[in-house]
Amino acid sequence: MLVDSHCHLDFPDFEETRDDVVARAVANGVTRMVTICTRPSQEPSIRAIAEKYEPVFYAAGAHPLNVGEEPLTTVDALIQMTQHPKMVGIGETGLDYHYDKWPPDLQKESFRTHIDAARETGLPLIIHSRNADSDMAAMLREGYDNGAYPCVMHCFSSTRALAEAALEMGFYLSMSGVVTFKNAQELRDIFKDAPLDKILVETDAPYLAPVPKRGKRNEPAYVAHTAAMGAEIFGMSTGDFAAKTTDNFHTLFSKVPRAEVAE
């Protein structure tokens, strides 16, 4: 049993093949998928995908690269979205200074709103962080000092310092296909030193397909390749690693019911 804790099934890459993509995931043992809304205005369409497919759930928020393209969402608006039974997380949100697309202050304002919504609802905050480690660590701590909230560092590929800061607050690190890349030994070492009970796996599909699918469109079924690398990193069987990360997922995403397993 596996879980893809972060994918984007609404993206155009899946428009014509979504039924097949979900079916392949299930056939490969992926029992739960969380598809991520990156613009609050698009929440209804992401919700519809989750409603159509029994194994699919969703999260909603404003990606930092989208924050200036529509009015900033509010805590109340995010909380209202969580009334849906398949809405299970807040985000993705965070900071992205790589493209210099939107001012840091605007990204931070949006980010604080999402932190507050996660604290109010108890649903996990889903973090995107790129080239913003210092500000990210400071904002996570600032928010946490105002009241604890659950959180996952999605597609973690940042520094050891940010990993340690997140883990100190009890947050989770999510492992994507990046850990399978040849030049990612430093990242593999960061995961190896993290507590196993704070690790999730994801695809971030359609991006970042793991080896041996690198260069192709990623999809939830391929999370098995990331899990195989995770098992190698932690020195355990793939089955045991899959079971443990699935348990971790359900601990964090407590609103998601466990899949029934055929005896």
Residue 93 has which token pair?
A: 């949100």
How far apart are the C-alpha atoms of 93 and 70, rounded to whole Å?
A: 15
How far apart are the C-alpha atoms of 257 and 39, rounded to whole Å?
A: 25
Residue 260, pLDDT score: 83
197-239, pLDDT tens digit by residue? 999 999 999 999 999 999 999 999 999 999 999 999 999 999 9
Residue 100, pLDDT score: 83
List, in order, residues 6 or more apart from 45 with CB less than 8 Å away: 10
List, in order, residues 6 or more apart from 60 with CB less than 8 Å away: 36, 37, 40, 43, 46, 47, 78, 81, 87, 89, 90, 91
1-36, pLDDT tens digit by residue? 999 999 999 999 999 999 999 999 999 999 999 999
* Cis amide bond preceding 124, omega within 30: no
List, in order, residues 6 or more apart from 244 with CB less than 8 Å away: 196, 197, 199, 236
Residue 263, pLDDT score: 47
Q: Which CATH class is domain 2-252?
A: alpha beta
246-262, pLDDT tens digit by residue? 999 999 999 999 998 65
Residue 143 has which token pair?
A: 């928010």
Mean pLDDT of 42-64: 98
Indicate the pLDDT class of residue 123, thresholds 50, 70 and 90: very high
Alpha carbon separation from 70 to 40, 75, 92, 113, 118 (Å, rounded)? 9, 16, 16, 15, 21
User: 94 — alpha (psi -120 to 50), left (phi > 0) or beta?
Assistant: left
Residue 262, pLDDT score: 57
